[in-house]
Amino acid sequence: MAEMNTSSDNGGKKKKGQPTKMNLRVDFTPMVDMNMLLITFFMLCTTLSAPQVMDIVMPAKSTEPGPETPESKTVTLLLSENDQIFYYWGKAKYDNPNFLQKTDLSEDGLRNVLLERNSDLNQQVTDLKSKKYKKEISEEQFKNQLSELKKSRESITVIVKPTNSSTYNNLVKTLDEMQICSVAKYAIVDVEKGDNYLIENFNNFSLTQAR
């Protein structure tokens, strides 16, 4: 609190025309208390807000063949500029320009592509989460059943290939869609020359059709 003393030094008498001398003292004790409360608050908030970690599956360097996945359940995503995504199911067909398809990162884009062949598993995961929320199953049961669902052959496998024209934000949005659509198996792989050829061939074919 501030304290002001307006008394003069001439025995309480003030000469005419003489300015009043004021002694001002500011008490900073309340401000110190407020600063300590703010510091404590921010320390608690920093402790409670644990960083979110997303699991990213990277292909393992192994000479042994992995589990075979049907072509109808394997999709390759080629991340391009302006939130555009080129994709194809199964193996690449370089002699067919119509083989490659195009979408974007909107809710009606990539999400619909993934849910087209992963809707059954996504619904099962949603039902399992609902049972956990209603406390019909324990946390351990939820993890075990979720692990079994991820091993199911109904799950699709997504191969993500960011091109040089894509951005880090494109990759983050794509990984978010993996979680939303309950995609259990996905991997980030370097783009190859053949993938760039597919995109160039698709763009050239589109320009030809537009003329």
- Backbone angles phi and psi of 23, in degrees to 5: -105, 115
The pLDDT confidence band at residue 112, using thresholds 50, 70 and 90, is very high
* Higher-pLDDT residue of 6, 23: 23
DSSP assignment of 134-178: TTSS-HHHHHHHHHHHHTSTTS-EEEEEE-TT--HHHHHHHHHHH
Average pLDDT over residues 78-84: 90
User: How far apart are alpha carbons 74 and 160 in whole angstroms?
Assistant: 11
Q: What is the residue-averaged pLDDT of the chain?
A: 78
* Higher-pLDDT residue of 17, 43: 43
Q: Where are the domains of the chain?
A: 71-89+98-210
The pLDDT confidence band at residue 133, using thresholds 50, 70 and 90, is confident
- Backbone angles phi and psi of 151, in degrees to 5: -85, -5
pLDDT of 46: 66
pLDDT of 29: 72
pTM: 0.65
Structure-token match 């009043």, residue found: 20
Average pLDDT over residues 135-152: 85
Angstrom distances, CA of residue 206 to CA of 45, 121, 200, 203:
52, 35, 10, 5
Average pLDDT over residues 159-187: 90
Angstrom distances, CA of residue 126 to CA of 7, 93, 136, 182, 197:
77, 35, 14, 9, 39
- Those residues with Cβ within 8 angstroms of residue 33's Cβ, 6 or more apart along the chain or in another chain: none
Indicate if the pLDDT at residue 86 is higher than 90: yes
- β-bridge partners, 157: 74, 185
CB 185 within 8 A of CB 57: yes
Of the candidate ranges 19-33, 35-49, 96-110, 116-130, the one whose mean pLDDT is the lowest: 19-33
Average pLDDT over residues 27-45: 77
Of the candidate ranges 21-25, 155-159, 192-196, the one whose mean pLDDT is the lowest: 21-25
CA angle 89, 94, 95 (to 5 degrees): 115
CB 177 within 8 A of CB 114: yes
pLDDT of 52: 56
pLDDT of 40: 82
pLDDT of 59: 47
Indicate if the pLDDT at residue 13 is higher than 60: no
